[in-house]
Amino acid sequence: MRTLILSDLHSNHEATLACLAAARELGYQRSAVLGDLVGYGGSPEEVVCEMRALKPAVMIRGNHDRVVAGIEQGDDFNLLALQAAVVNRKLLSPGSRDFLMGLPAGPKQLGEAGTLVAHGTPLDEDEYLVDPLEASRIFRELDFSVCFFGHTHVPCVFKLAGGSVSRVFPAPDGTRVALRPGERFLINPGSVGQPRDEDPRAAFLILDDAAEEVSFHRVHYPIQEAQLRILEAGLPPQLAQRLQRGV
């Protein structure tokens, strides 16, 4: 089984389409979405419709999904994020907003026992996982083999092997990571719609159960079109500018 893993699409329809097209060429049988379909970008309705049509095996909510849907008011958001959430809420159809409201919180099981998906971490859907020490705590407190998570917009792998945790950032031209028995993993595919690792290309990941590995992928997309959607929606220009720089 090959599984497409998507996270942090953030209302970027152009990046979403590019990832789906590239993933179809690579081949996959199922998909999982780690939350934050909306926020920041100018095409929330289009992205939600794409994800509903994709029919993922598992799809969970992110913090921007909660705020755009109206579950929360975004009291902890910075000004740019809150402005984007308000505009995104207005751009959504009632059906798409209801869909976001119905997305479950992570973690959720993906396929066989031992594989989880989360937005922030499997302990806290809003936690930013960036440090091996934090990863060590999660490995201690929860029993899983592999957990895919998002939220930071930075692709990386935390691996527990031989009692110690290491962190690996994928190479720009792609990286394959073997999922060896006896080792445990926390894996972030990176962001489809708003990368923050200084690489503006959209990011996604393929889990290959037969090969017992994951592969990181980056794809070019028409950034200027996504920027235009942001400006046409009346969103702050900074949100368009950051797409060009991948920050």
Q: From first to last of the 247 residues of the chain, give the pLDDT tens digit.
A: 999 999 999 999 999 999 999 999 999 999 999 999 999 999 999 999 999 999 999 999 999 999 999 999 999 999 999 999 999 999 999 999 999 999 999 999 998 779 999 999 999 999 999 999 999 999 999 999 999 999 999 999 999 999 999 999 999 888 999 999 999 999 999 999 999 999 999 999 999 999 999 999 999 999 999 999 999 999 999 999 999 999 9
Residue 6 domain boundaries:
2-245
CA 230/CA 223 separation, integer angstroms: 11
Per-residue confidence (pLDDT) for residue 112, from 0 to 100: 78
Parallel, antiparallel, or unpaired for β 30-33 and 58-59?
A: parallel
> Structurally, how many domains does the chain consist of?
1
Per-residue confidence (pLDDT) for residue 59, from 0 to 100: 98
Q: What's the pTM value of the predicted model, to 2 decimals? A: 0.96
Decide: 81 and 39 in contact? Cβ < 8 Å: yes
CA 167/CA 152 separation, integer angstroms: 14
Pair of tokens at residue 34: 């780690």
Per-residue confidence (pLDDT) for residue 151, from 0 to 100: 98
CATH number where 118 lies: 3.60.21.10
Sign, CA torsion 89/62/225/47: negative
CA 128/CA 76 separation, integer angstroms: 14
